[in-house]
Amino acid sequence: MSALVLVGLQWGDEGKATVVDVFAAPADVVVRYSGGANAGHTVVVGDEKYVFHLLPVGVLHPGKMSVIASGVVLDVGQLFTEIDTLKSRGIEVRDNLIIGLRCHVTMPYHKALERMAETQRGKNAIETTLRGIGPTVVDKFSRDGIMVCDLFRDELLLQKLRRNVEIKNRILEAFGSKEHFCADEIYGSLKVDRERLKPFVGNTSSLLSSCIDSGKKVLFEGAQGTLLDVESGTYPFVTSSHPISGGVCVGSGLPPTRISKVIGVVKAYCTRVGAGPFPTEDIGEKGRMLGDIGNEFGATTGRQRRCGWIDFVALKYAIRINGASSIVVTKLDVLDELGEIPVCVGYDYQGERLSELPPEIDILAECRPVYEMMPGWKKKTYGITEYSELPEEAVNYVRRIEDETGVRVGMVSTGPRRKSTVILDKDLLNF
């Protein structure tokens, strides 16, 4: 049995795509299991940069099967844009991509509803990506959603669209929105889209089960991060899905007994996009330096990410939630110029020392980080691929992460490319 999960251990943007790209080499199948077009994965291959929102990174590897499983919310237009962009760059997506019949589909009215909701929240806006993911999931749980399989059933599709559009138009009008939708127009557009979509559609749960049964190596590619999980994250400043390892089972149709290994990905510092508590955020000069050197801009929205320091309270929580048995540390090179590096070992809340991440969002917002300082290395690590070449202070920083979390660091990345990795655990890629 060979099913490995790569999951982000922070608020997303941990550099998972580069790590997935490394792990995709020995894999046979690469699977997206959660999120939607609100995710942004950037991969650099040679001098070429690729940005994905829906397609699994596996499409860059010839001979690999890529799967968009049922836990992913599908924006058909975005999917076609990514496929067309790859084709223009000489990469064909054909029978190497399978999309789940049970995926829920984002409609134009979902994006309008999200824009309206964010406007109504005012200063309390969550600062979503406005890709319509939340409203799509709302329809899913209110039993009004439209799945990929519904796109091929004319009567049912038109019936659902007419009912949904009537309700959505009333809601939009009630809140003063000028946007208005026509069910028949959306239906006409979907009839065109479904013909192009049809060759990619299949039973992904059955496919993945068969792949594992036959001994194929299946890699599950996480989107967003643990602290954005709708159940386990910093609610309500979260995404609308389950990026955690447990989301693999829900989003792929596989039982927990099929998962053989979970590896967590953590940035050597910490970032967050959008609103919400961020205890170790640094709004000063060093925080801005992290953003500049790390090129911390969202791949989906282009928004500048908030930057700060590694948070061991949140990291230990994320490791426990996911059951990660190994860690990959990314973007170590961003810290190269620092003479000393703060690491958060606890929170101070109104004079009380906290060692656990509080679920109350207002309490978390008032927590102040308790820092210990570690010496920096003031040497270039960018592009290093051998552990023995890392500066002693950089090795100590990696070891501190291991000591605080109790989990082995199996790989360190020192740049955005496939080859900019230091493998500490030679068995890490064996799954």
**Cβ atoms of residues 18 and 424 within 8 Å:** no
Among 13, 75, 311, 333, which one carries the catalytic annotation?
A: 13
13 is catalytic: yes
| Pairing label, strands 326-330, 306-308 | unpaired
Structure tokens at 213: 């049964």
| Pairing label, strands 97-100, 65-68 | parallel
Among 21, 41, 150, 333, which one carries the catalytic annotation?
A: 41
**Angstrom distance (rounded) from CA 424 to CA 408:** 9
**Angstrom distance (rounded) from CA 254 to CA 249:** 5
| Pairing label, strands 65-68, 29-32 | parallel
**Cβ atoms of residues 59 and 66 within 8 Å:** yes
Sheet with 326-330: list strands edge to edge: 201-202, 97-100, 65-68, 29-32, 218-221, 3-8, 261-267, 326-330, 408-413, 421-423
Residues serving a catalytic function are: 13, 41
